[in-house]
């Protein structure tokens, strides 16, 4: 293994997108992730469960573990938040402080979803530090959900955004900028823009800059620049496919993205988008070093950790604070 430059070895990272559980609500556990975080120089991590569970249908001989393993549906799974609470509170206090739990076990198209969030905060006060990952538009995953597709500006999310603002909680949302059938046009961008415009007090973290597998949006740099310019409450999570598809090409940072991040040094953050398994955690997080080294030192420190930590509430959520 190649040696790591001193500046990289000493840089502390924060993981802004981490699922403790996979699509069948299983995972390697926080003790395993703590060891991987130490190896990758990750000091802090957002932690959420998985808002949906993959169905094992009668016609499938092999049990699916990932949503793309077969054509079976996925369904909302509210107990995922209880599993996160159980894992985090089982840690020693010093380790527990490194994790920042987000509520995700609700249907974002259900107007009663706000009740689940309030219930989780009431049952576990002074614990939660954010909401998400909310699944709005999400490519193939959307087509596997029951009933209507999610949207960033769905009426069911309006009271959630407002509660998040009242409690100073960030909302992390997956909202694809477009569809694979849209001939390279960002047809869903207005849904996110509408949501952040209607809720200017709410800190919204846009997962993966609106990208997905096989989703090509040639205007995405200009689109992100415009949205960040127009909405001071919007932040961008650079996890998952955005790294391979946009940030780095042939091992080198893409200049357009380096420039964009430099223009908004307090608005971007990195993340593993780990789904339960620790196996690839270290290389997934340390790959960002090639991007961070191309940024100005202050911007690199912001993107590496400070921006994520800055959107977290001063105190974990309690309904008495609303």
- Interval 253-271: pLDDT, tens: 999 999 999 999 999 999 9
Q: Which CA distances in Å does 270 have to 63, 120, 303, 308? A: 32, 27, 7, 8
Residue 112's pLDDT is 97
Question: Which candidate, 186, 181, 175, places its Cα nearest to that of 209?
Answer: 175
**Which DSSP symbol is given to 2?**
P
Residue 186's pLDDT is 77
- Residues in the chain predicted with pLDDT less than 70, given as ranges, are 1-10, 67-69, 138-141, 143-144, 180-184, 322
In DSSP terms, 48 is beta-bridged to 19
**Which DSSP symbol is given to 82?**
H
Residue 143's pLDDT is 62
Residue 183's pLDDT is 56
Residue 309's pLDDT is 98
Phi, psi of 133 (to 5 degrees): -70, 125
Q: Which helix (H) or strand (E) holds 52?
A: strand 52-54
Residues 6+ apart with CB under 8 A from 58: none
Residue 2's pLDDT is 43
Give pTM, 2 decimals: 0.93
3-state secondary structure of 125: coil
Residue 5's pLDDT is 47
Q: Which residue has the tokens 């614990």?
A: 127
């Amino acid at each position: 293994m190649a040696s790591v430059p001193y500046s990289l070895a000493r840089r502390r990272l924060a993981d802004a997108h981490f699922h403790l559980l996979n699509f069948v609500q299983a995972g390697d556990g926080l003790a395993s992730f703590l060891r991987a975080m130490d190896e990758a120089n990750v000091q802090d991590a957002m932690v959420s469960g998985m808002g949906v569970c993959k169905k094992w249908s009668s016609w499938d001989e092999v049990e699916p573990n990932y949503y793309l393993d077969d054509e079976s549906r996925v369904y909302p799974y509210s107990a995922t938040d209880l599993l996160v609470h159980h894992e985090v509170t089982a840690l020693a206090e010093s380790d527990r402080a490194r994790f920042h739990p987000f509520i995700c076990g609700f249907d974002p198209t259900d107007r009663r979803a706000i009740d689940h969030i309030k219930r989780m905060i009431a049952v576990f006060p002074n614990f939660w530090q954010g909401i998400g990952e909310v699944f709005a538009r999400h490519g193939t995953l959307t087509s596997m959900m029951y009933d209507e597709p999610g949207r960033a500006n769905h009426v069911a999310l309006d009271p959630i955004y407002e509660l998040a603002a009242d409690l100073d909680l960030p909302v992390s949302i997956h909202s694809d900028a477009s569809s694979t059938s849209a001939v390279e046009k960002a047809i869903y961008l207005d849904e996110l823009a509408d949501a952040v415009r209607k809720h200017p007090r709410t800190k919204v973290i846009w997962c993966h800059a609106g990208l997905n597998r096989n989703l090509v949006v040639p205007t995405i740099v200009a689109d992100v620049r415009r949205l960040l310019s127009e909405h001071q409450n919007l932040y961008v999570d650079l996890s998952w496919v955005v790294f391979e598809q946009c940030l780095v090409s042939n091992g080198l940072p893409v200049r357009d993205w380096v420039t964009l991040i430099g223009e908004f040094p307090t608005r971007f953050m990195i993340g593993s988008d780990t789904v339960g398994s620790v196996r690839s955690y270290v290389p997934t997080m340390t790959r960002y070093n090639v991007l961070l080294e191309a940024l100005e030192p202050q911007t690199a420190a912001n993107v590496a950790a400070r921006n994520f930590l800055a959107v977290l509430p001063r105190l974990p959520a309690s309904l008495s604070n609303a």
